[in-house]
Amino acid sequence: MLLIRAHEEAAVALQGAGKAGGTCTAVGQEASAVGVVMALTENDQILTNHRSIGHLLARGADPRRTMAEILGRQDGYCAGKSGSLHISARELGVVLTSTIVGGELGLATGVALSRKMLGQPGIVACFFGDGAACEGRFHESLNLAAVWELPVLYVCENNHWQAFVHRRETMLVESITAHAPAHGVESNAVDGNDVEAVHDAASAAIAHIRKTGRPYLLETVTYRLRGHYEPDDQSYVDPQELAHWRARDPILLLKRKLDGEGVLDAAGQQRMEQRVRRRIEEAVGFAEANPYPSLDALTTDVYA
């Protein structure tokens, strides 16, 4: 979680310095990404959305290559062509990052159908937000996955904000899981800022999928602590709401828990933070020194 947070903050700094394009961060959502991804195996695949860096790094992505991709350099995961919002990494089982709201939902269902028809092992994990849960594709995807008995873990990272619109303006139900029974899908909602709770819930959901071959909807209730897209001053956010969730920062919560249990004291946490900072500084240095793609690469890996 520290690595993800430091990577996000470095990307924001690069954007502010005019060295990178805008990006959609997931600061505050680290526990959801780590808790779920760490419950997956190497045979499982991931489809994610525009707040994807946490899923990538939790999956084992090299921060040097993710940073190079953000800066549009040739040694990025997509040879500098995706920026921060469309990264895929086949070697990590990350099929794609979709910036179309809800786009990954239909695609994940298709990937799972393919895997089932080919007799391939593993499940498909699909990350989306509460905004995508308001799209028709959400219901279509869950319905088809249930009817076709597909091994999909649908993970709704409910961060309360759909771009600049609060979820209470777009839905009357308190929980996204309220939609699951209508499609015959098992579901659970969990505190998305408690990484251990997320991991336990994800492990149980994945075990259910592996046993039954049927889909599962997991809702991680979390909050993004930065704006929709950098730069964003969050002037539209209720200050009291933001303060409440800042006090529930998942990294802060875990630090307190580890310290209280005598597992990792303040000195140990500081050493860990220093290691992470050095790793991100190395990643930024690598990316800035990495060359841009040559012109002859303009039409490679382009399909029609």
Spell out the domain ranges in the chain: 2-16+28-288
Please compute, for residue 53, the number of CA atoms within 13 A of its CA located in the half-sphere on the CB side. 31
Q: Residue 22: its pLDDT value, please?
A: 84
Q: Residue 304: its pLDDT value, please?
A: 66
Among residues 288, 272, 290, the alpha carbon closest in space to that of 5 is found at 272
Provide the whole-model pTM.
Answer: 0.95
pLDDT in tens, the chain (304 residues): 999 999 999 999 999 999 998 889 999 999 999 999 999 999 999 999 999 999 999 999 999 999 999 999 999 999 999 988 899 999 999 999 998 999 999 999 999 999 999 999 999 999 999 999 999 999 999 999 999 999 999 999 999 999 999 999 999 999 999 999 999 999 999 999 999 999 999 999 999 999 999 999 999 999 999 999 999 999 999 999 999 999 999 999 999 999 999 999 999 999 999 999 999 999 999 999 999 999 999 888 877 6
Superfamily covering domain 2-16+28-288: Thiamin diphosphate (ThDP)-binding fold, Pyr/PP domains (3.40.50.970)
Positive or negative torsion for Cα 142, 145, 147, 149: negative
Positive or negative torsion for Cα 25, 31, 32, 35: positive
Map residue 4 onto helix, strand or coil. Answer: helix
> Could you give the residue ranges of the DSSP H alpha helices within 213-296?
239-246, 250-260, 266-289
- State the Cα–Cα distance between residues 198 and 54, nearest whole angstrom: 14
Segment (H or E) for 2: helix 2-16
Q: Residue 20: its pLDDT value, please?
A: 92
> pLDDT per residue over 253-294, tens digit each?
999 999 999 999 999 999 999 999 999 999 999 999 999 999
- State the Cα–Cα distance between residues 131 and 205, nearest whole angstrom: 22
Q: Residue 28: its pLDDT value, please?
A: 98
- State the Cα–Cα distance between residues 113 and 115, nearest whole angstrom: 5
